[in-house]
Amino acid sequence: MMMMMRGNDANCNGCEIHGQNLGGLDSFDKSSRGICSVQIEYDRNGQFIWSVKHGSNGGTTPHRIKLEYPHEVLTCISGYYGCISKNERPQIIKSLTFYTSRGKYGPFGEEVGTFFTSTTTEGKVVCLHGRSSFYLDAFGVHMQHWLGSGQKTSKISLFKKF
């Protein structure tokens, strides 16, 4: 899965995947076993920048999601994780669903294994972090209080790692 997020850059240090004030999803790629890769697009001082691609090129089904940032923001991420096959380790992200201030995208991948979700608040996802090898195997978010389009935001300290 390759996922490209659009938003504003800042120093949000996660394991390998990071970005700040994320507001748009452009694309991602998955295989039949799980999410293969993630890539984030963010705004750095008015210029859109792509992060490095985290994961592998093994996906077979590319997907594109474009949010109407700043009016539409990512508010919650949920999904499933589990073993690559029945008795095989390691555990990987099998499915992801993205919730925005305007709707839902997904699920992308098979909804099998253990369910996870980020905190559901009146906030927006401002930072993604995680870990990958051939597949995406860890995924976390940082949240920021969000009062809606055109209103000021105030930072709060919410953290969820899957």
Do 47 and 13 meet the contact criterion of CB atoms below 8 Å apart?
Answer: no
Question: In angstroms, rounded to a whole number, what is the distance separating the alpha carbons of residues 135 and 65?
Answer: 20
> Is it the case that residue 115 has pLDDT exceeding 90?
yes
Per-residue pLDDT band at 113 (split at 50, 70, 90): very high
User: What's the total number of domains in the chain?
Assistant: 1
Spatial CA neighbour of 131 closest among 5, 19, 14? 14
Write down how long the chain is: 162
Whole-number pLDDT of residue 28: 52
Count the Cβ atoms, other than its own, within 10 Å of residue 139: 26
Q: Tokens at residue 50, please?
A: 């792509």
Full domain range(s) for residue 84: 5-161
Note the pLDDT tens digit of each residue in 4-44: 333 333 333 333 333 333 434 434 555 567 888 777 776 67
Global pTM reads 0.72
CATH code for the domain in which residue 153 is found: 2.100.10.30
Do 109 and 82 meet the contact criterion of CB atoms below 8 Å apart?
Answer: no
Question: In angstroms, rounded to a whole number, what is the distance separating the alpha carbons of residues 38 and 138?
Answer: 11
- Please enumerate in sequence order all residues whose Cβ is within 8 A of that of 20, keeping only pairs 6 or more positions apart, or say none: 7, 8, 9, 10, 11, 12, 42, 126, 127
